[in-house]
A and B are shown apart, each in its own frame.
Chain A
């Protein structure tokens, strides 16, 4: 089985995000970018499936600016077999909306014919949580979102999902789109020999035009604001005082 893993290049989770002066978005100029952490979990899961003999090829795909090839190289160094870069933006600030991404991915799926698409549940930049679901709708495939455990059994997958109040296990027919949650696994760091090998793995470069997908945004960003600054706290002298203050604040 071939597994396709879409990976997105996003602002690194350690970077303190700053809003651009004109409020049009987040400043990404000269900021450290990394693979979306949920996508890293998806790559790791695909590698584990391969190590368990349940997958035989892992293809990673990224859609965005040309520099997203760095993200793909990281996935190759982790253990993916080959990569497809779809250049769809010149400027790192130009966001591609989930629907356009899903449409491109649907075309990639058509070409690659994977048995499974493993995707992050959302990207940490815009937190849309939509691409995987849209892709499954476009393909007419089953979907399982927020996976914390995945078992492939023949032509079905058993997926444990984190839902409010507990865990839910569903059985979906393959091929399927599965989006992964935080607790599915802890992604490995690429070992040095694999980093050195990654540069020899194939990386195909395409453009959005190759897939004939319209990238025109459907959404308009009206304004981007910094989160409100946290108000200063107070130091209380005793547990009694703490309880009193909490009562005053209506917290207990």
Chain B
């Protein structure tokens, strides 16, 4: 595989991320998974190490760095073995980019440094109870109103499946300010303390247990007009502008999940004896492991190729969609087979593969479903 660009920095970031995960996360991660939450201080600790700021400009309190710097952190974070923790701790990476790219300097300076320091939690709110993938038809409405002598947006509607929804301090919320379709959508920053805003209790999920995922309610919610990101009704391209990075992230999350499942399966197969030999002595298991390893290698190569092109500034909607689908398909297969190799033990919560299997399932749904990815691929193929 081609060497990573900026390899010395990436190596050091990886070392720091690994030390952070080993010291701060790994000793507690099983408890946090069972408890369905992790302490808020984790954001502060990750912020203090500069890990939350990777990929953000230094003048906003970021650490700088590009695609490969980010991936080193995501990979090491995922190796803690909790996709949910990675999703919640990393929710700023889907919420902040539109603000950083298109928001006013004032709004950015007020919010971004505190989020990157881990003092404030940031989330993205697009999906609604009535629709997810069909972003262009979202129903939450925002109307410009004057209250006293100030301009506000008054928001009415609801959002759901919002990662960090229970405790984020700020949300990038997609709302309808204009007519039907994607041309009527705007992005607004809603602070938790805004009048008329509330969030529901944590939703009970198949996987990603450590993540606080919730519904959000906007009931005549008043937000200052200055919280609009960019221009009114120009929100749709702002949403899509971060899709490549989000899909790359999900592909990487899938690959690390696969890698951990494969490692666990290999270790188990070496130790476990049946019919007079270790499981690795049985062809049916050996070959299964060989197939799992091959899938993972192919998936990593495709993901890495996409990352390299993205780092070079290319737009690769087709390939990144392919990489996400390939990685999540491979992850479904590999975590399924890992549980199979573990047998009854793989069905027990004390086995890491049990969690990996559950956590894998969301990866082909979130950040663009498998079906939406295929629509993009088909379109890009000229079909």
Contact = CB atoms under 8 A, between A and B. Distances in A.
Interface in A184-202: 189-196, 198-199
A34 interface: yes
Nearest to A34: B15
A192 B16 CA distance: 8
Contacts of B19: 189
Contacts of A73: 8, 12
A14 to B, nearest CB: 9
A123 B51 CA distance: 30
Nearest to A73: B8
Contacts of A195: 9, 12-13, 16, 50, 63
A192 B15 contact: no
A182 to B, nearest CB: 16
Contacts of B178: none
A72 to B, nearest CB: 10
A70 interface: yes
A33 to B, nearest CB: 10
Interface string A195-218: 110110000000000000000000
Nearest to A70: B8
Given A191-B49, A192-B53, A199 B9 contact: yes
Interface string B45-80: 000111101100010000111000000000000000
B11 interface: yes
B8 A189 contact: no
A34 B18 CA distance: 13
A199 B8 contact: yes
Contacts of A34: 15
B243 interface: no
Nearest to B10: A195
B49 A77 contact: no
A91 to B, nearest CB: 21
The secondary structure that dominates the B interface is helix
Q: How large is the interface on A (under 10, 10 to 19, 20 to 34, 35 or more residues)?
A: 10 to 19
Contact of B51 (A74, A192, A196, A198): A192
Contacts of B8: 70, 73, 199
B20 interface: yes
Interface in B1-57: 8-9, 11-13, 15-16, 19-20, 23, 48-51, 53-54
Interface residues of B, number: 20
Given A196-B63, A196-B64, A196-B65, A191 B12 contact: no
Given A191-B49, A191-B50, A196 B9 contact: yes
A166 B182 CA distance: 73
Given A192-B63, A193-B50, A196-B63, A70 B11 contact: yes
A172 to B, nearest CB: 32
Contacts of B48: 191
A28 to B, nearest CB: 17
Contacts of B51: 192
A189 B18 CA distance: 9
Interface in A40-78: 70, 73-74, 77
Contacts of A199: 8-9
A34 B11 CA distance: 10
A74 B15 contact: yes
B64 A189 contact: no
B112 to A, nearest CB: 15
A196 to B, nearest CB: 5
B20 A192 contact: no
Interface pairs A-B: 3 shortest CB-CB: A192-B50, A192-B63, A189-B19
Given A34-B15, A195-B13, A199-B9, 14 more contacts: A73-B8, A73-B12, A74-B12, A74-B15, A190-B15, A191-B48, A191-B50, A192-B64, A193-B50, A193-B53, A195-B9, A195-B12, A196-B63, A196-B65
Interface of A: 34, 70, 73-74, 77, 189-196, 198-199
11 contacts: A189-B19, A189-B49, A190-B15, A191-B16, A191-B48, A193-B53, A195-B9, A195-B12, A195-B13, A196-B65, A198-B12
